[in-house]
Amino acid sequence: MNNEKNILIKIENLKKVYTGANPLTVLNNINLNVYTDEILAITGESGSGKTTLLNLIGGIDNITSGHISIDDKKIENMNENNLATFRNKSVGYVFQFHNLLGEFSAIENVMIPSLMLKYDKIEAYKKSEYLLEAVGLKDRINHRIGELSGGEAQRVAIARALINNPLVILADEPTGNLDKKNASVVQEILWEMTKKIKSTLIVVTHSRVIAEASDRKFKLESGETLSEY
């Protein structure tokens, strides 16, 4: 047995400046190693840069300077094509506001990331059906997102994030808009599915319960320090 921890994500001297009329440095000199298969929580005050950090890790936004590598591949070196494939194939993103397509059904929303990679439609359907069942929505698969409750929509978002068996799941306040009971259901599903597909989870959260349930927890302060606590 090899007990050494594998580093899946390496963040070095990361800096993010939002440019525009009022340039704003949101992240500065951030360093972090994320281990394979771990569940890592990031907490911090509103505006400290947590969503910005997740967006950079997920290749959704551009790094100003510094490095992020995932599975030894540097995100900042990927061209648009590679980046699009990386986002679809390797990253499962659960957004702060669920970001599902309201006019489409639950199962259509879950299938989309798989269809974007041109995977077989029938396979994508079966897998989506399985995932929706796993998150407790077997009898809601044909409901449009607009016909679901907030907690149900959040569970669809989790199923969608998992469809391509991502290397890493990035979850931004996945329980932020839910009551205690639904928050606990969503958290359990996220934990269980992460383990099942042997993925690595980075979860941004204000919830102490979620932070405590994680393998490691970090606090981001003013985009300047990221410290384990």
By the 8 A CB rule, do 225 and 48 touch?
A: no
Q: Which of residues 49-68 bind Mg ion (CB under 5 A)?
A: 51
Count of residues touching ligand ATP (by CB under 6 A): 12
Which is nearer to ligand ATP, 40 or 106 (by Cβ)? Answer: 40
Cβ-proximal residue to Mg ion, closest one: 51
Burial level of 77, CB count in 10 A (0-12/13-18/19+)?
exposed
Give the C-alpha separation, 91 to 65, whole Å.
Answer: 21
The correct pick among 1, 3, 4, 46 for binding ligand ATP (CB under 6 A) is 46
Residue 51 is a binding residue for ligand ATP (CB under 6 A) = yes
Binding mask 1-30 for ligand ATP (x = CB under 6 A): -----------------x-----x-x----
Which is nearer to Mg ion, 51 or 128 (by Cβ)? Answer: 51
Residue 52 is a binding residue for ligand ATP (CB under 6 A) = yes
The correct pick among 40, 41, 43, 44 for binding ligand ATP (CB under 6 A) is 44
Sheet holding 7-18, edge to edge: 24-35, 7-18, 65-70, 73-74
By the 8 A CB rule, do 190 and 174 touch?
A: yes
Q: Which two tokens stand for residue 48?
A: 């400290």
Residue 203 is a binding residue for ligand ATP (CB under 6 A) = no
Burial level of 223, CB count in 10 A (0-12/13-18/19+)?
buried
Stretch that binds ligand ATP, among 32-40, 42-50, 113-121, 158-166 (CB under 6 A): 42-50
Give the C-alpha separation, 39 to 198, whole Å.
Answer: 11
Residues forming the site for ligand ATP (CB under 6 A): 18, 24, 26, 44, 46-52, 96
Residues forming the site for Mg ion (CB under 5 A): 51
